[in-house]
């Protein structure tokens, strides 16, 4: 709803009231419409101030209403009525003005923002365009190039940037409402026509056509198949080339095609999933709302390789004092230089001073005596990590939390090396750790709820999307990646090329195919893991066939490349060829194609054409199948957790919702049928055998994804 009050004699104050973000629900739209009508018709009212309750202007349209039939007044007529009114309306923006919230503010004649406010049109991130006039008014206010940037990226801007761009008229560190009321009084009676954005001409680059063509090209490349960013460019083109009313018509048509699209549904599911994972739970019954996080006043990072440096930077940027530890002076100096330059570069990007005073570099573990939490980020080696944990356990305060940054190692084994195993959790960061949004918080059987709550809370402070997961090899993300990667190399044995597999995956929407990713991260990473698992190297039983391990199909191709020193970009060759070691541009490598042919003939393998469909089905459905097993095992609390991990950490295209959402969208019976088909064709690949949870879900009539947890619960209760 909206509250109407009269203040300072002649000012009508309309306050949006719909916690937690004052979203524009039907009741709020009705309240605004009624209040604006009342203010305009009251002769004693000279001007109107519009604000949001509880220091938040407005978080936009109520996304929860999108799935229901529309009721109440429309957003567009409500907004148009404000702009057309004969009394000045001033938006007093605190907190956020996002999406429909900013569109509402753009219809006001003046905008005053608190310096901490954030503004933006993030509709594109929900698979939509700003269709309450946002695509038509913003270009008329700040020009086509700046508006196009904000609308196609959906990025939020600070109040100061909004002032520079011309979105707001004033920024204040005072009481925004008081200033807005003073301001409203001062502009009362002044002509309103120049303040109505719908009547303005947008400022366009002189070479508008080539500018828009270039923008469309860039947006298509970045969009990876998403349709909303393309529609954003089309709508802004309409603003630049058509009168306002025709632009509004185009905006409406474009929105109509997006609103009910599968992509919009997927992206809105991602939005809510990201919030769902914050309400974490553990099989023990510990949950986000019954477990209290401890405050972290000071932290430490042990091991300043690539991961440790990124983690230290994240902590400092979040304002947390850090002790950064390396084992030797020389390594410490190199790391110190690297961390300092990242901090300086990042601060410069944000127009701030680097918080260099917050970090203390040391080679002395005794410096950890005062810290509340340690993140160990040494080399991925169990014996080494155990040694570090033993030392930490004797040096740190008894109640200090000990976290390991590991991508697959057993958190429980590390916990066992300490005096307080309940204070040990995994914090699986993704490289580069100060950039990537995902954090897997891994609890072992002995991790206490308070340790999990503290790590989750810390993740939030670092600006991460944190997902609590159980302890198993590879946790959620990497465990699901294993069958996916295995299928990709099996497909090479059967006749595909890395180029074909990558192209299929990139057309699906991944930023990079599996082989290009492997070249980027280094083939030796997986080689080491496979050695650890006894799949290659000295751990393999003598006489075991090259293509069978532990009774199932194995592909030695990645190991063979590693043995030849083809480790990917760093050695200038891997699955592709690069112009030099460290080169970034992947080229097809005739050597590799010959090598694959020789390999197939050596092993008596008949190459056959592999279709794009087969690549996608085998790679993606094997990954999804593992996701079902993870749910069954209770490693992830729900499909939203898995999907959030994949969207934020593994490049899964958000417009496809995540792997589990995708399975639901394709249809669970189809996924099951395809897995059965491939499993029969390849009985030596157990990962293709459909999981029992998938079968159960299909038997239960393939319920919608938000009901899967109930089916998982019945599985667990029967165990």
Ligand X SMILES: CC/C=C\C=C\CC(=O)SCCNC(=O)CCNC(=O)[C@H](O)C(C)(C)COP(=O)(O)OP(=O)(O)OC[C@H]1O[C@@H](n2cnc3c(N)ncnc32)[C@H](O)[C@@H]1OP(=O)(O)O
Q: Does 415 bind ligand X (CB under 6 A)?
A: no
Q: In terms of Cα–Cα distance, which of 23, 20, 21 is closest to 32?
A: 23
CB 637 within 8 A of CB 284: no
Q: Is 122 in the site for ligand X (CB under 6 A)?
A: yes
The least distance separating ligand X from the CB of residue 125, rounded to whole angstroms, comes to 6
Number of residues engaging ligand X in binding (CB under 6 A):
22
Closest listed residue to residue 106, CA positions, set 160, 172, 176, 50:
50
Closest contact distance (angstroms) between CB of 140 and ligand X is 18
Near ligand X by CB under 6 A, which window of 125-133, 207-215, 289-297, 438-446? 125-133
Interface region with ligand X, contact rule CB under 6 A, candidates 93-101, 212-220, 356-364, 560-568: 93-101
Residue nearest ligand X, Cβ-based:
99
CA distances from 304 to 6, 170, 219, 307, 334 (A): 60, 44, 37, 7, 9
Q: Is 641 helix (H, G, I), strand (E, B) or coil?
A: helix
Q: Which of 264, 230, 229 is nearest to 61 (CA)?
A: 264
* Contact residue for ligand X among 12, 29, 36, 59 (CB under 6 A): 59
The single residue listed with the structure tokens 């048509």 is: 253
Q: Which is nearer to ligand X, 116 or 298 (CB)?
A: 116
Among 98, 442, 456, 504, binds ligand X (CB under 6 A): 98
Options 64, 369, 593, 713; binder of ligand X; rule CB under 6 A: 64
Closest CA to 397 of 376, 421, 375, 368: 368
Q: Is 132 in the site for ligand X (CB under 6 A)?
A: yes
Contact map string, positions 273 to 312, toward ligand X, x by CB under 6 A: --x-------------------------------------
Binding mask 346-385 for ligand X (x = CB under 6 A): ----------------------------------------
Q: CA dihedral in degrees (276, 282, 283, 285; nearest 10)? A: -100
Q: Kindly provide the residue ranges of all beta strands, DSSP E only, lying in 600-647, ordered along the sequence.
A: none
Shortest distance in whole angstroms from residue 350 CB to ligand X? 18
What span, in angstroms and rounded, lies between the C-alpha atoms of 712 and 719? 11
CB nearer to ligand X: pick between 76 and 712:
76
What is the rounded CA–CA span in Å between residue 586 and residue 583? 8
Does residue 23 belong to the site contacting ligand X (CB under 6 A)?
A: yes
Q: Which of 11, 12, 13, 21 binds ligand X (CB under 6 A)?
A: 21
Binds ligand X by CB under 6 A, chosen from 9, 20, 538, 609: 20
In the complex, minimum distance from the CB of residue 63 to ligand X, in angstroms, rounded to a whole number: 4
Taking Cα atoms as reference points, which of 218, 254, 216 lies closest to residue 133?
Answer: 254
Give the Å distances, CA to CA, from 293 to 316, 372, 421, 460: 20, 12, 17, 12
403 lies in the site for ligand X, by CB under 6 A? no
Tell me the C-alpha distance between 175 and 689, whole Å: 63
Query: Tokens for 104?
Result: 């509402």
Residue 497: HSE in the Cβ half-sphere, 13 Å Cα cutoff: 14
d(CA 387, CA 424): 14
Annotated active-site positions, please?
103, 123
Q: CB of 119 within 8 A of CB of 104? A: no
Q: Which is nearer to ligand X, 267 or 452 (CB)?
A: 267
Read off the tokens for 497: 């090329």
Tokens 């949870």 belong to which residue?
Answer: 693
Q: Is 231 among the residues that bind ligand X (CB under 6 A)?
A: no
Q: Is 126 in the site for ligand X (CB under 6 A)?
A: yes
Of 616-645, binders to ligand X (CB under 6 A) are none
Coil/strand/helix, residue 246 = helix
3-state secondary structure of 417: coil
Closest distance between ligand X and the C-beta of residue 339, in Å?
Answer: 28
Which residue lies nearer to ligand X by CB, 98 or 491?
98
Bridge-partner residues for 441, per DSSP? 427, 468
Of residues 126 and 392, the one with the C-beta less far from ligand X = 126
Q: Strand runs (DSSP E) across 414-454, as ranges?
A: 424-429, 438-443
CB of 274 to ligand X, least distance (A): 8
The window from 20-28, 375-383, 522-530, 625-633 that contacts ligand X (CB under 6 A) reads 20-28
The pair of structure tokens assigned to 539 is 């751990």
- Closest to ligand X by CB, 499 vs 643, is 643
Least distance (Å) between residue 94 CB and ligand X: 12
* Binding region for ligand X (CB under 6 A) out of 123-131, 138-146, 431-439, 492-500: 123-131
Buried b (16+ CB within 10 A) or exposed e, 282-291: beeebbbeeb
Task: Give min distance, CB of 496 to ligand X, in A.
Answer: 40
Residue 151 found at the interface with ligand X (CB under 6 A): no
Q: Does position 26 bind ligand X by CB under 6 A? A: no
| Calpha distance 305→702 (Å, rounded) | 46
CB of 143 to ligand X, least distance (A): 22
Q: Is 463 in the site for ligand X (CB under 6 A)?
A: no
362 token code pair:
């040391």
> Helix and strand tally (H, E) in the chain?
28, 19
Neighbour tally for 194: CB within 10 Å: 10
Query: Shortest gap between Cβ of 12 and ligand X (angstroms)?
Result: 24
**CB nearer to ligand X: pick between 58 and 491:** 58
Binding-site ranges for ligand X (CB under 6 A): 20-21, 23, 59-64, 75-76, 96, 98-100, 122-123, 126, 128, 131-132, 275
């Amino acid at each position: 709803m909206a509250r109407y009050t009269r203040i300072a004699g002649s000012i009508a104050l309309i306050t949006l009231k719909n916690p937690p973000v004052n979203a524009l629900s039907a009741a709020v739209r009705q309240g605004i419409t009624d209040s604006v009508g009342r203010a305009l018709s009251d002769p004693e009212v000279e001007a109107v101030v519009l604000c949001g309750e509880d220091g938040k202007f407005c978080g936009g349209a109520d996304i929860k209403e999108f799935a229901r039939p529309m009721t109440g007044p429309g957003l567009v007529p409500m907004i148009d009525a404000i702009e057309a009114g004969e009394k000045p309306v001033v938006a007093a923006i605190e907190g956020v003005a996002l999406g429909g919230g900013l569109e509402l503010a753009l219809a006001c004649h003046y905008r005053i923002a608190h310096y901490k406010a954030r503004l933006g049109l993030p509709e594109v991130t929900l698979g939509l365009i700003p269709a309450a006039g946002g695509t038509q008014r913003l270009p008329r206010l700040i020009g086509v190039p700046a508006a196009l940037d904000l609308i196609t990226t959906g990025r939020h801007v600070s109040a100061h940037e909004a002032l520079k761009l011309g979105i707001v008229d004033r920024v204040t560190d005072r009481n925004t409402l008081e200033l807005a009321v003073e301001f409203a009084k001062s502009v009362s009676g002044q002509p309103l026509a120049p303040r109505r954005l719908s009547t303005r001409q947008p400022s366009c680059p002189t070479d508008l056509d080539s500018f828009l063509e270039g923008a469309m090209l860039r947006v298509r490349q970045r969009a990876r198949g998403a349709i909303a960013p393309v529609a954003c460019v089309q709508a802004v083109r309409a603003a630049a080339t058509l009168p306002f009313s025709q632009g509004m018509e185009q905006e409406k048509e474009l929105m109509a095609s997006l609103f009910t699209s599968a992509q919009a549904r997927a992206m809105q599911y991602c939005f809510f999933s990201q919030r769902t994972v914050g309400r974490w739970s553990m099989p023990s019954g510990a949950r986000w709302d019954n477990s209290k996080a401890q405050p972290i006043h000071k932290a430490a990072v042990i091991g300043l390789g690539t991961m440790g440096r990124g983690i230290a930077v994240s902590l400092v940027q979040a304002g947390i004092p850090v002790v950064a530890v390396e084992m030797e002076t020389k390594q410490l100096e190199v790391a110190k230089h690297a961390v300092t330059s990242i901090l300086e570069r990042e601060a410069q990007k944000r127009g701030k001073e680097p918080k260099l005073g917050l970090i203390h570099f040391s080679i002395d573990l005794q410096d950890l005596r005062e810290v509340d939490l340690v993140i160990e980020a040494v080399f991925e080696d169990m014996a080494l990590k155990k040694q570090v944990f033993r030392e930490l356990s004797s040096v740190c305060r008894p109640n200090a939390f000990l976290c390991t940054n590991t991508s697959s190692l057993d958190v429980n084994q590390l916990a066992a090396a300490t005096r307080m195993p309940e204070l040990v959790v995994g914090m699986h960061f993704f490289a580069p750790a100060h950039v990537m949004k995902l954090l897997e918080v891994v609890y072992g059987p002995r991790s206490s709820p308070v340790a999990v709550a503290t790590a989750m809370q810390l993740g939030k402070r670092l600006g991460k999307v944190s997902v609590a997961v159980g302890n198993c090899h590879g946790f959620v993300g990497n465990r699901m990646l294993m069958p996916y990667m295995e299928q990709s190399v099996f497909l090479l044995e059967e006749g595909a090329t890395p180029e074909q597999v990558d192209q299929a995956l990139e057309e699906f929407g991944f930023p990079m195919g599996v082989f290009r990713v492997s070249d980027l991260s280094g083939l030796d990473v997986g080689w080491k893991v496979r050695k650890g698992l006894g799949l290659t190297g000295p751990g393999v039983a003598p006489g075991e066939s090259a293509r069978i391990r532990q009774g199932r199909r194995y592909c030695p191709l990645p190991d063979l490349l590693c043995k030849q020193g083809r480790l990917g970009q760093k050695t200038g060759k891997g699955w592709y060829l690069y112009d030099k070691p460290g080169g970034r541009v992947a080229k097809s490598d005739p050597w590799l194609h010959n090598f694959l042919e020789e390999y197939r003939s050596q092993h008596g393998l008949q190459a056959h054409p592999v279709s794009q469909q087969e690549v996608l089905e085998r790679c993606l459905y094997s990954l999804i199948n593992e996701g079902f097993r993870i749910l069954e095992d209770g490693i992830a609390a729900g499909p939203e957790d898995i999907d959030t991990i994949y969207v934020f950490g593994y490049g899964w295209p958000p417009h496809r919702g995540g792997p589990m959402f995708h399975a639901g969208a394709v249809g669970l019976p189809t996924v099951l049928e395809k897995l059965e088909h491939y499993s029969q064709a390849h009985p030596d690949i157990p990962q293709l055998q459909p999981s029992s949870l998938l079968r159960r879900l299909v038997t239960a009539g393939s319920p919608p994804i938000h009901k899967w947890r109930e089916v998982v619960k019945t599985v667990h209760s029967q165990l």
